[in-house]
């Protein structure tokens, strides 16, 4: 099981800013170990952010997104105590979903 | 669970997500294929953005020179009305398309992320807004490539 997505959601003047970091190796499939073996591709392909039940961001990633994908964005609305959830799925079919409350 | 059933379930789930993304307008073509396309022109065509014009209403915020290409911070800001999709391309990367973002109504047209860059190259932000597709490009110099 992978580590939780670190999420911070703060609201100011009617706009909620979301900062998130999903722990993931994001291997391209091109990296070689010292002894020459290729490291298999392993990267997040889909990431969705919800505010309560509403989609506020939908991302599709290729392997050019950095290790431990990091995103900052904002949406109109949101109130302290409401939830922001981040879900991802990777090219191996693994997935993870985490939720925080807006501060 | 036998292997073929497992594979069928996996493939089915993936196809479902894709169909939904296509329906949601995130991707005009099959997603797996658009990330495997090489070259800016070919990716733009696959995104439905062939012929997009450069626009100074799109800003790419990034350092001019980056030491480590494994982690390049890039922020895209669009001032185009009705911005609903952003795609990030890196012209010299083995995988040209880095990411595609769908921004529903209410999500601000401004997004920051980190990408890998194999070498000095242009980062291209392709925006779909009310007026169709537009783009901006910015060269980022890389001291040590980060696509290994």
Q: Kindly list the residues from chain A whose CB atom is less than 8 angstroms away from the CB atom of residue B99.
A: 59-62, 64-65
Q: Give the minimum alpha-carbon distance from A21 to chain B in angstroms, rounded to a whole number.
A: 10
- Domain covering A6-101 assigned CATH 3.40.190.10 in the classification: no
Going by DSSP bridges, is the β-strand pair B85-90/A54-61 parallel, antiparallel, or unpaired?
unpaired
- Domain limits, chain A: 6-101
Contact between B99 and A64 using a beta-carbon 8 Å cutoff: yes
Q: Kindly list the residues from chain B whose CB atom is less than 8 angstroms away from the CB atom of residue A61.
A: 98-99
The number of residues in chain A equals 103
Q: Kindly list the residues from chain A whose CB atom is less than 8 angstroms away from the CB atom of residue B98.
A: 61-62, 64-65
Q: Would you say residue A85 has pLDDT above 80?
A: yes
Q: Say if residues A68 and B116 touch (Cβ distance below 8 Å).
A: no
Q: Phi then psi for B106, rounded to 5 degrees?
A: 100, -20
C-beta atoms surrounding B10 within 10 Å: 12
Residue B33 confidence (pLDDT)? 76
Q: Give the minimum alpha-carbon distance from B55 to chain A in angstroms, rounded to a whole number.
A: 21
The mean pLDDT value for B37-64 works out to 95
The mean pLDDT value for B98-108 works out to 97
Exposure of B30 by Cβ count < 10 A (0-12 exposed, 13-18 middle, 19+ buried)? middle
Contact between B104 and A56 using a beta-carbon 8 Å cutoff: yes
Q: What is the ipTM of this complex?
A: 0.96
CA distances from residue B25 to A36, B68, B105 in whole angstroms, order as listed = 41, 34, 13
Task: Check CB contact of A74 with chain B, cutoff 8 Å.
Answer: yes
B12 Cβ neighbours under 8 A, 6+ residues apart: none
Q: Convert the pLDDT of each residue in A16-56 to its tens digit.
A: 999 999 999 999 999 999 899 999 999 999 999 999 999 99
* Chain B residue at shortest CA distance from A31: B148
Spell out the domains of chain B, with CATH numbers in brackets: 38-144 (2.60.40.2470)
C-beta atoms surrounding B85 within 10 Å: 23
Q: Kindly list the residues from chain B whose CB atom is less than 8 angstroms away from the CB atom of residue A15.
A: 108
């Amino acid at each position: 099981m992978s580590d939780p997505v670190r999420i911070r959601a703060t609201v100011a003047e009617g706009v909620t800013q979301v900062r998130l970091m999903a722990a993931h190796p994001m291997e391209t499939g091109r990296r070689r170990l010292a002894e020459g073996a290729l490291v298999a591709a392993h990267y997040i392909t889909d990431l969705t952010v919800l505010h309560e039940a509403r989609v506020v961001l939908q991302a599709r990633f290729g392997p050019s997104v950095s290790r431990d994908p990091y995103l900052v964005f904002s949406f109109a609305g949101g109130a302290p105590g409401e939830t922001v959830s981040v879900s991802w799925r990777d090219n191996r079919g693994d997935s993870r979903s985490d939720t925080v409350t807006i501060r | 669970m036998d292997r073929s059933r497992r594979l069928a379930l996996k493939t089915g789930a993936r196809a479902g997500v894709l169909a939904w993304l296509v329906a949601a307008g995130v991707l005009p073509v099959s997603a797996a294929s658009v990330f495997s396309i090489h070259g800016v022109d070919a990716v733009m065509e696959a995104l439905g953005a062939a012929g997009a014009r450069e626009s100074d209403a799109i800003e790419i915020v990034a350092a001019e020179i980056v030491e480590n290409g494994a982690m390049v911070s890039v922020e895209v800001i669009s001032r185009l009305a009705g911005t609903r999709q952003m795609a990030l391309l890196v012209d010299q990367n083995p995988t040209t398309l880095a990411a595609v973002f769908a921004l529903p109504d209410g999500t601000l047209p401004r997004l920051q992320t980190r990408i890998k860059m194999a070498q000095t190259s242009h980062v291209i932000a392709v925006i779909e807004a009310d007026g169709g597709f537009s783009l901006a490009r910015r060269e980022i110099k890389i001291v040590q490539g980060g696509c290994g």
